[in-house]
Amino acid sequence: MKPIPFRYFAAVGALALAGCGKFSNDLAVVLPEYNSQLVAECYLEPGVVPRLTVTESQAYLSAVLPMVPTDVTVNLTLPGGALVPLYYRPGQDPITKKLYTHIGTAALVAKPGDTFGLDVQDTKGRHLTGTATMPTTVPIDSVNYKFNDKTGDNRKAYFLTYFKDPPTPDDDYRLQLHKGLRIYSSPENDLTVQDRLLNGQLFTLGTSYRFNPGDTVTATLYHLDPAFYRFRQSVNDARNANGNPFGQPSAIYSTVQGGVGVFTVLNYTRKTIFLSK
């Protein structure tokens, strides 16, 4: 059988591609109307004046610009039932550098087991609510480190953090490690764990060889309430799925009702250690 010249296939392929143009059509996809929701972000902390950020959710294809409503009324409900208003006074925390829209007038008094309520309303009839309970205190037992046997710039240390999980089930934790005392900058290590396999036992969380001789390392251990843990996990899942053509879409798990967002009470302990040479 006589072989068919390659130029024949090239010609047929070109004709096929040209013919495909006849089967293409431009479609105008009508997107459903999107109704914006209130978005709240509030992390209460004992000894700190309460702050809250309220924005509006936006359609996925809209411009990435924060929409800040100015007609919002915010109230906290204290454990004893008293209402504490948070006033619309946009600003930036000088220590954490986080922006906020509403702020209180006095530092928060809270202890483990206290439950707080959040009520956010605007003049359009949107109403967001939430409750949060301060978790128990889980202290860091100790921290430690060990250097490798290398010299010069290759001499590095790994870092270990120890803490005892209480016997109660479903405890969630977040451990952050910062160099020096820059605890509000990007952490060197940020780890979230659960106690499903180590309930009531000693946790040992370690890093790779990443710290240098002379570093000062600050470990911060957060005991998270389950709702806040699920919120953080859902945010990470949504971030990983965004823009990934092979990933499944992931919704944000909110800890509030009537809107989107997170409302929680932070409880953490810290230890700082100097990595001597």
In contact, 108 and 46? CB cutoff 8 Å: yes
Claim to verify: residue 191 and residue 267 sit in the same structural domain: yes
Q: Is residue 118 part of a domain?
A: yes
| Domain assignment of residue 88, given as a range | 38-133
Are residues 129 and 144 located together in one domain of the fold? no
Q: How many domains does the chain have?
A: 2
Supply the pLDDT for residue 11.
47
- Check residue 8 and give its pLDDT: 44
Q: What is the pLDDT, as a whole number, of residue 35?
A: 83
For residue 43, give both structure tokens.
């992390």
Q: What's the confidence (pLDDT) of residue 18?
A: 52
CB atoms under 10 Å from CB of 137, counted, come to 13
Distance between CA atoms of residues 191 and 270, nearest Å: 15
Cβ proximity of 254 and 235 under 8 Å: no
Q: Same domain for 113 and 144? A: no
Global pTM reads 0.83
CATH of the domain at 183: 2.60.40
User: Which string of b and e fits 226-246 if b means at least 16 CB within 10 Å?
Assistant: ebbbbbbeeeebeeeeeeeee
Residue 2 domain-assigned (yes or no): no
Give the whole-angstrom CA distance, residue 136 versus residue 113.
Answer: 7
pLDDT in tens, the chain (277 residues): 445 454 443 444 444 445 555 566 676 666 677 788 999 999 999 999 999 999 998 876 666 677 899 999 999 999 999 999 999 999 999 888 899 999 999 999 999 999 999 999 999 999 999 999 999 999 999 999 999 999 999 999 999 999 999 999 999 999 999 998 788 889 999 999 999 999 999 999 999 999 999 999 999 999 999 999 999 999 888 877 776 666 666 778 999 999 999 999 999 999 999 999 7
